[in-house]
Amino acid sequence: MDETRIAVIGLGYVGLPLARLFSTKYKTIGFDINQKRVDSLMNGADDTLEVSSDLLNEAIGKGFLCTTKLDLIKDCNFFIVTVPTPVDKNNRPDLTPLVKASETVGKVIKKGDIVVYESTVYPGATEEDCIPVVEKVSGLKYNVDFFAGYSPERINPGDKEHTVEKIKKVTSGSTPEIGEKVDDVYRSVITAGTHLAPTIKVAEAAKVIENSQRDINIAFVNELAKIFNLMKIDTHAVLEAARTKWNFLPFNPGLVGGHCIGVDPFYLAQKAQEYGYHPEIILAGRRLNDSMGKYVASEVVKLMIKNGTPVKGTKVLMLGITFKENCPDIRNTKAIDIYHELCEYGISVDVYDPWAEPAEVMREYGIETITQYPEIKSYCLAEGGYGAVILAVAHQEFLQLDLLEHKNAGAIIYDVKGILNIETVNGRL
C-alpha cells in the first residue's frame, strides 16, 4: 500500500477534499480540465470553500499537486473519478462528464492499476457505461489487465463538522481481492471507518437510495405544509410536537435542489424504467419537490394582495440564491424557481446573496445580483421600498438581519426555511 500513487480526476466539491486528505498519506495528484481552477488551488485558494487555505497550502508544501497535464498522472496506479453526474433538461441522466473522465483514465491506466468511481450513478453504470470506455481507449482488458472499484461520495457541501474523513465510506471492488485493496486504501485515511459492499452494483445502489430516501421524506413534509397552510395550522409547530416521539423522522419542508438530492432520484428512476418498472413514489416525490418554488411565489403574491400591495411592478427582495445555506454552490438551486415565478407576475426581484459569486450567477442564470443588503431607514413601500422580502436560503448572515424594519415599512415577510421569529413573518412553509 506504500506504493499506492493516487490521481483524483475532478477537483470540485468532492474531489478536492478527498485529494487533500489522501495527500496526507500518499503521493497524490489532483487532475482537472479547468486551468483557472487549478491555478487558484495551487495558489492556496479554494472558491468552493470546502478546503481552507491553511490545509491546502500545507498539502502543497508537502508535495500535493493540482494539474491539467495528463502526463503528470501517468505514474499513478490508483485513479479516483469524482466528476459531476447531472441530468439534462428532460431530467435524463447525463453521463457526458463521466464518459470523458473515463476516456482520460483510459489514456493513462496501466496493467495492474485500479480505477475507482465516486460519482453518483444508477446501479450498473460503472461496469456497463464507464469500464467499456476505459477498455476501448486503453486497449486493456477489465479484471485481467486493470481493475475497478466504486466508493460513493458523501460530501455535504458547506458542512464543516461532517468532513470527508468523518463520514463512513462505502467501498467495493470488481473482484473480492480488489475490494479488499480499495477498502484498505480508503480505511487508511477515513477515521470514521469503511463498509465493504459485496459488489460494485450494491455500492452504487446504496448511494442512489440515500438521496432518494431523503427526497421522498422531504416531499412528504412539503405536502404536509401545503395541507396545513390551507387549514391555517403552523406546520413547524406540528413537526415540533411530532418530534417528541422517539422514532419520528426529523425532516422539514423546503426547497430541494443541489447536485445530489434534486438529481439522484432521476438516475434510479431511469434505470428502473429500463427494466420495465415505472417508479411511482420516487417520481411523485420529485414532482412535488420541484413544484415548491412556484408554490412559494404564489403564496407570497396572495399575501401581497391581502395586504393591499400592488403586484405588478412592485419590488421584492429575495435573500439567497445558493442551493443551501452557508455554501457558495448555485448548481440546480430551486430558489431560482421562486425568482422566475415572481417575474411571471410582473414583479421586479432583487436577489442578495453574500455567498454566491455574482459573475457565476450571471453566467448560470442571467441574473444580476445586488452586492449589498438594502437596509431601510426612513422610507416606506410607497416611496420605493419592497413589497415583500423572502428568506429563501438560511445563510448565517441573514439570521442577524432585522427584517422588522421592512415589515414596518409595509413589506410582506415570507420565511421559506421556517427559522425566523413567528412574530416577524407574514407567512412560511
Residues recognised as catalytic: 260
Pairing of strands 169-171, 27-31: unpaired
Q: Name the strand (E) or helix (H) holding 28.
A: strand 27-31
Q: How many CA atoms lie within 13 A of 46 on its CB side?
A: 26
Amino acid at 326: N
Amino acid at 293: G
In angstroms, how far apart are the furthest CA atoms of the chain? 75
Q: What whole-number distance in Å separates Cα of residue 428 and Cα of residue 253?
A: 10
CB 381 within 8 A of CB 410: yes
C-alpha cell at 346: 410582473
Q: What whole-number distance in Å separates Cα of residue 116 and Cα of residue 132?
A: 14
Tell me how crowded residue 357 is: count the other CB atoms within 10 A of its CB. Answer: 15
C-alpha distances in angstroms, 21 versus 1, 194, 290?
16, 15, 35
Residues 6+ apart with CB under 8 A from 349: 315, 316, 317, 318, 339, 342, 343
C-alpha cell at 411: 413589506
Query: Which conformational region is residue 417 in: left (phi greater than 0), alpha (psi within -120 to 50 degrees), or beta?
Result: alpha
Instruction: Sort 367 into a burial class: Cβ within 10 Å, 0-12 / 13-18 / 19+.
Output: buried
Q: What whole-number distance in Å separates Cα of residue 429 and Cα of residue 414?
A: 8
> Is residue 203 helix, strand or coil?
helix
Nearest to 242 by CA among 232, 250, 234, 230: 250
Residue indicated by cell numbers 498519506:
25
Residue indicated by cell numbers 441574473:
367
C-alpha distances in angstroms, 135 versus 129, 146, 181, 343?
11, 9, 21, 50
